[in-house]
């Protein structure tokens, strides 16, 4: 009987071990399913985060592109305006220089004309003095020179 008892106990222990093993297997399977479910949720959330990050990056890139285009247009307009202003200023300076040159020419022409007149008068006076000293002049020549 003792061996029968031992056999029964062994069978009972074996059954209990199998039950515990099955329970452990079921629990491990359940935990694996739960972990897989959480991994799927995490993946979905990560995908959402990645999608949101991509959208944000795309929006930021578009905004930067628009700002760069706007800045380039403003720089082009300022450059064009500065070139136009420089052109107008150069034109004004050229006109002023032309007017100053003409005024100087007129003034210089008057001075040269006056100097030429003085030179003619001096030369004529010298000619008359030489004629008078040689005795070739008459009173009419001196009178003509003074009225000239």
Three-class HEC string of 29-54: HHHHHHHHHHHHHHHHHHHHHHHHHH
* Model pLDDT for residues 36-71, shown as the tens digit of each residue: 777 767 766 666 666 777 888 888 888 888 888 899
Find out whether 107 and 97 touch, Cβ atoms under 8 Å. Answer: no
Q: Is the pTM of this model over 0.85?
A: no
What gap in Å lies between CA 45 and CA 51, rounded to an integer?
10
The pLDDT, as a whole number, for residue 1 is: 55
* Model pLDDT for residues 90-134, shown as the tens digit of each residue: 888 888 888 887 777 777 767 778 888 888 888 888 888 888 888
């Amino acid at each position: 009987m003792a061996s029968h008892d031992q056999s029964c106990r062994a069978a009972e222990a074996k059954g209990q071990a199998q039950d515990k093993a099955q329970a452990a297997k079921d629990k491990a399977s359940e935990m694996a399913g739960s972990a897989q479910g959480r991994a799927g949720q995490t993946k979905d959330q990560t995908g959402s985060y990645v999608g949101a990050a991509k959208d944000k990056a795309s929006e930021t890139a578009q905004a930067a592109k628009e700002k760069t285009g706007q800045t380039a247009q403003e720089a082009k307009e300022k450059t064009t305006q500065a070139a136009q202003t420089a052109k107008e200023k150069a034109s004004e300076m050229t006109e002023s220089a032309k007017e100053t040159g003409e005024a100087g020419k007129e003034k210089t022409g008057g001075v040269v004309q006056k100097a030429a007149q003085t030179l003619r008068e001096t030369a004529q006076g010298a000619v008359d003095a030489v004629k008078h000293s040689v005795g070739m002049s008459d009173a009419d020549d001196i009178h003509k020179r003074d009225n000239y």
